[in-house]
Structure 1
Amino acid sequence: MGTSSLFDVSFSSGIKTITMKDTRSRNALSLNMQKELYKYITADWDDKKLRAIVLQAEGPAFSSGHNLKEFNFDTNDKSLLEEVFKMATKLMLSITECPVPVIACVNGIAAAAGCQLAAQCDIVVASDKSLFSTPGVSVGVFCSSPGIPISRTIPRKLATYMLTTGLPITATEAKSAGLVSVVCPEDQLKGQVEKICAAITAKSRYVVTKGKRFYYRQIDMTMKEAYKIGELEMIERISESEGQEGLKSFIEKRKPNWKHSV
């Protein structure tokens, strides 16, 4: 589908695979890296054939975080920093706004903004050799932005441990805390991702898209507020053709014939 010095991108059987390959920088999220990744993530959203996005990396690091060389600047000119972090916010939010699930496939270290990138994804599959860390505090830059999705994913005591010490946690620890969905040996990583993708593609794209949007809409509401809009969401989805087809296929003991749109 596309290639550059920073990425390989392919599209097969409904799955877009984006591979970060800037191994010399350990896939550091430079401004250009972020812009290109945003472009690849947001492309094809209207293509009904797109069912999931897999984000992976070559080399020993999923991503080492922001490119610190971009932070060494004249303190009187913060324009580059402003552009870097505005782009980072735009990139991270695009993952939540993406109409299909975004799956991080982590095989190595995910540090600082690299950990943020993984935490922002809908699903994280990690090899048992992977590590997750927010070491910015060690170089005088507290990982404030990386802490945003991390603190919304894992318990407070572990989040503050990571953010204030800079020490890494293992993939197994990350799974226990809720940062990682699946942990497996390195040689099983591809198979686990394929299994998840197969489960997603067997479902209605329309149902998954609507469900993902509702999930992120309600997650920061109070329980009472969430239930109020949840009632309306359930009624609307059941009443639509995809909901009716799913129910009828269950009752009739057959595979559903999804239209993927209503």
Structure 2
Amino acid sequence: MGNHSDGILHSELFDSGILRLTLNDQKRRNALSEDMLARLVDVFSSAATNAEVRVIVLAAEGPAFSAGHDLKEITAARSHEDAGKAYFTELLDTCASVMQLIVSNPKPVIAEVTGVATAAGCQLVASCDLALAADSARFATPGVNIGLFCSTPMVALSRNVANKHAMEMLLTGDMVSASKAEEIGLINRAVAAEKLTAETMAMAAKIASKSAMTLAVGKHAFYRQSEMSLPDAYNYSSQVMVDNMLKHDAEEGIGAFVEKRTPQWKDQ
């Protein structure tokens, strides 16, 4: 994949297998515009099947991580004959596809958040497997303030924080500090802004050193079992572990542990 920049989305693949994606549409506060969403669909789809990519970091340039949907695009669409219904439907379907591509991606995805993440931008953070944020970062689902409830951001938010905290964000539209976001589970932790990239990349490198097969198996199982009843979750995860135990990397990893040596992964 190498390094690539198309102006609003920069990608850099490191030798460690970390793919660093950077939103860079600062004039629009890294809005999830039609253009940005299409590029995210492409890059996450490509990364999912690229064996060189082991972990994905999603970062952003400028004071906003992402301000969510482009309200100017939405307003312009109201002039269509159907008052924008077809446009809104396609826009939200594409946005939902991006969020689901993150969750279904076999590679762990880490959000690195500086600045503000609001509405669908907050949804983007919540959809990532892990999130680190600068202690100055802030989060909100402020749609209620403009008569448009953050119903799609609610899906990711409600799956990551307790209901009362999610509803408070959704019903008030208030900004939440990075420390509060950590407390309620929206992010893993808040760190000093000057240390954020180093800490995020260190976490990514640690994860990238694991067996890619094991990570893919575990991530898929994590999200799938979370929607099941307790007995079904145990039945399913037990079968996943049986299948996992029969893989090369499990045999190698257990053998290396017993023999007190470093495992040599084949990602299979």
Shorter chain as normaliser: what TM range?
over 0.9
Range moving further from structure 2, 72-81 or 194-203? 72-81
Residue 44 of structure 1 aligns to a residue whose secondary structure is helix
Residue 71 of structure 1 aligns to a residue whose secondary structure is helix
Instruction: State yes or no: 1:9 paired with 2:15.
Output: no
Contact persistence 2:137–2:178 (CA under 8 A): yes
Instruction: State yes or no: 1:94 paired with 2:101.
Output: yes
The match for 1:40 is 43
The match for 1:83 is 90
Matches within 5 A, 1:97-116: 97-116=104-123
The match for 2:169 is 162
Contact persistence 2:122–2:141 (CA under 8 A): yes
The one-letter code sitting in structure 2 at the alignment partner of 1:60 is P
The one-letter code sitting in structure 1 at the alignment partner of 2:221 is F
Range moving further from structure 2, 188-197 or 123-132? 188-197
Residue 27 of structure 1 aligns to a residue whose secondary structure is coil
TM superposition shift of 1:44: 3.3
The match for 1:139 is 146
TM-score of the two chains, using structure 2 as the length reference: 0.95
- Find the aligned partners of 2:242 and 2:111 in 1 and give their Cα distance: 32
The match for 2:213 is 206
The one-letter code sitting in structure 2 at the alignment partner of 1:9 is S
Contact persistence 2:18–2:205 (CA under 8 A): no
Gaps of 5+ in 1: none
Residue 90 of structure 2 aligns to a residue whose secondary structure is helix
Runs of 4+ in 1 over 6 A off after TM superposition: none
Please point out which of 216, 220, 225 is paired with 2:227.
Answer: 220
TM superposition shift of 1:182: 2.1
- Find the aligned partners of 1:100 and 1:163 in 2 and give their Cα distance: 30
- Find the aligned partners of 1:47 and 1:71 in 2 and give their Cα distance: 34
Q: CA 1:237–1:80 in 2, change beyond 3 Å: closer, same or farther?
A: same
Please point out which of 242, 245, 248 is paired with 1:235.
Answer: 242
Q: Number of residues paired by the alignment?
A: 261
Identity rate of aligned residues, in percent?
A: 36
Range moving further from structure 2, 40-49 or 142-151? 40-49
Range moving further from structure 2, 103-112 or 188-197? 188-197
- Find the aligned partners of 2:210 and 2:13 in 1 and give their Cα distance: 18
TM superposition shift of 1:70: 2.0
Contact persistence 2:107–2:215 (CA under 8 A): yes
Matches within 5 A, 1:22-41: 22-41=25-44
Gaps of 5+ in 2: none
